[in-house]
């Protein structure tokens, strides 16, 4: 299976998934730490992939998402964006309803 197919399968299997550097408990970059904190503050369950432990996914994901940097949040298979976008959506009240709808 090609790496892009693995990514598409992950996006299909997980309504909310965060591709990040490290884990939510031990992020390995400031942006991933911010993204994990945003997600944890919502109380919504989410899947994650540590791209540092999965270099093929790290290399192929920007091709799938057309988004060049990490972290990357996907909701129902659609790219939402990185930590700055996530913070702005949380502050505006947009993020939690989208997450709740996807998780239900």
Query: Residues at the annotated binding site for [2Fe-2S] cluster?
Result: 29
Residue 8, SS3? helix
Q: Alpha-carbon distance 71 to 98, whole Å?
A: 18
Q: Alpha-carbon distance 45 to 31, whole Å?
A: 20
Annotated binding site: 29
């Amino acid at each position: 299976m090609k790496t892009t197919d693995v990514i598409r399968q992950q996006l299909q299997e997980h309504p909310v998934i965060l591709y990040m550097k490290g884990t939510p408990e031990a992020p390995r970059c400031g942006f991933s730490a911010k993204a994990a904190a945003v997600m944890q503050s919502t109380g919504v369950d989410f899947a994650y992939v540590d791209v540092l432990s999965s270099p093929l996914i790290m290399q192929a994901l920007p091709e799938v998402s057309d988004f060049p940097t990490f972290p990357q949040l996907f909701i129902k298979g659609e790219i939402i964006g990185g930590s700055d976008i996530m913070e702005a959506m949380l502050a505006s009240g947009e993020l939690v309803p989208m997450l709740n709808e996807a998780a239900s």
